[in-house]
């Protein structure tokens, strides 16, 4: 009788060491990633917001809805981006370093001559004077991400 462990002996020539390996279950298991909503595919949103966490969370939520999102952390960067970018709607914070939202809005409408892009103001002030021509506003501390998405969808221009 041989008491040697079979793992200490090399397999015989021509044998298949994997022949005794356990076989995986035959039933198929599929894990599906969440399917993004594609109803907004091709619609572009620019988020101009200096609070990185809020900007990132908005970006993620809008991308889940199928929007293409670009970001700028202040009015100067947004203005530079708007010289070449083609966006359908802008979410614009009012209080930012370098260039505030009011100044950016003025340049968007006058210097860049883009009067038809809807602009939704992002603010923490419940009562404030917004520039004439603003499409809508969101009080960040009182508005859920779902409500922001609804405002974006409701104010998104229809392309013909």
Q: List the domains of the chain with CATH numbers.
A: 44-155 (3.40.50.2300)
pLDDT tens per residue across span 95-104? 999 999 999 9
The dihedral built from the CA positions of residue 71, 104, 136 and 83, taken in this order, carries a sign that is negative
pLDDT (mean) for 148-154: 95
pLDDT digits (tens, 9 = 90+) for 28-45: 444 444 444 445 567 999
Q: Return the closest-CA partner of residue 135 out of 107, 154, 111, 160.
A: 154
pLDDT tens readout for residues 105-139: 999 999 999 989 999 999 887 666 677 889 999 99
């Amino acid at each position: 009788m041989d008491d040697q462990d079979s793992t200490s002996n090399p397999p015989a020539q021509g044998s298949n060491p994997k022949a005794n390996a356990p076989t995986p279950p035959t039933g198929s298991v599929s894990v599906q990633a969440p399917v993004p909503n594609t109803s907004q595919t091709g619609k572009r949103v620019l988020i101009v917001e200096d609070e990185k966490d809020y900007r990132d969370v908005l970006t993620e939520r809008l991308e889940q809805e199928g929007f293409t999102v670009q970001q700028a952390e202040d009015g100067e960067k947004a203005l530079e981006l708007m010289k070449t970018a083609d966006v359908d709607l802008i979410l614009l914070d009012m209080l930012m370093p370098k260039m505030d939202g009011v100044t950016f809005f003025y340049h968007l409408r006058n210097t860049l001559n883009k009067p038809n892009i809807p602009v939704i103001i992002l603010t923490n002030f419940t009562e404030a004077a917004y520039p004439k021509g603003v499409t809508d506003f969101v009080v960040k501390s009182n508005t859920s991400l779902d409500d922001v998405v609804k405002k974006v969808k409701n104010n998104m221009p229809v392309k013909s």
